[in-house]
Chains A and B, each alone.
Chain A
Amino acid sequence: QKEVEQNSGPLSVPEGAIASLNCTYSDRVSQSFFWYRQYSGKSPELIMSIYSNGDKEDGRFTAQLNKASQYVSLLIRDSQPSDSATYLCAVNIPRGSTLGRLYFGRGTQLTVWP
């Protein structure tokens, strides 16, 4: 079992809709959780981080964390065509001397159509 799993997608939503991206992780000692956006041919860009249970909002983005269910999600409200990208879920699992090592899911490709 991979450390981080994401729904395979692709996910397609109309402009203005809410896009919901989901991620599960396998290791209960995981401490911190990140969402990255990656446009085609570009590198990952950090958009959200979340460390405690509950919701965290930043503009049109809301990250949700449920450690009991080992589940983290990203909601994008009022989706725009410019949000079309691959969204990577990343989880920190502290092992050994590398406290900051991230484990990534395969990513969910999101398309927002006008």
Chain B
Amino acid sequence: GAGVSQSPRYKVAKRGQDVALRCDPISGHVSLFWYQQALGQGPEFLTYFQNEAQLDKSGLPSDRFFAERPEGSVSTLKIQRTQQEDSAVYLCASSLIVGANSEQYFGPGTRLTVT
């Protein structure tokens, strides 16, 4: 079946621009996670949705980062006034169930470069 999809795959933004990154999870998956991966590092948690509810946004690095999942399916991560330190790969993952044992499946990621 279809996996997690993300768009765009690549985004180049000038410093100060706003960007919006989209994630389409596996159909029926309740949980949706956003992670940020810097070069040579493991993914770092940003935020978590259970259906449409954003239950944890403790990993968002600043108030320039905002995420939503209004209908409990597609999610958008928005970054306002981008800075060079925002350059990274943004990964979306979804899982079927809620809980510690839920297996997360990642999308292909969006590589953001801020110039």
Whole-angstrom distance between the alpha carbons of A34 and B100 in the complex? 11
Q: Point out the residues of chain B lying under 8 angstroms from A34, CB to CB.
A: 103-104
Q: Point out the residues of chain A lying under 8 angstroms from B106, CB to CB.
A: 36, 43-46
Nearest chain B residue, comparing its CB with the CB of A41: B111
- Quote the shortest CB–CB distance from A29 to chain B (angstroms): 10
A25 at the interface (CB under 8 A from B): no
Interface residues of B (CB under 8 A from A): 31, 33, 35, 40-45, 48, 55-56, 58, 89, 91, 95, 98-109
Q: Are the CB atoms of A106 and B42 closer together than 8 Å?
A: yes
Q: How many residues of A are counted as interface, with CB atoms below 8 angstroms from the partner's CB atoms?
A: 28
Whole-angstrom distance between the alpha carbons of A44 and B107 in the complex? 8
- Quote the shortest CB–CB distance from B40 to chain A (angstroms): 7
Interface residues of A (CB under 8 A from B): 4, 31-32, 34, 36, 42-46, 49, 51, 88, 90, 92, 94, 96-107
Q: Are the CB atoms of A31 and B103 closer together than 8 Å?
A: no
Q: Point out the residues of chain B lying under 8 angstroms from A100, CB to CB.
A: 31, 33, 48, 95, 98-100, 102, 104
Q: Point out the residues of chain B lying under 8 angstroms from A105, CB to CB.
A: 42
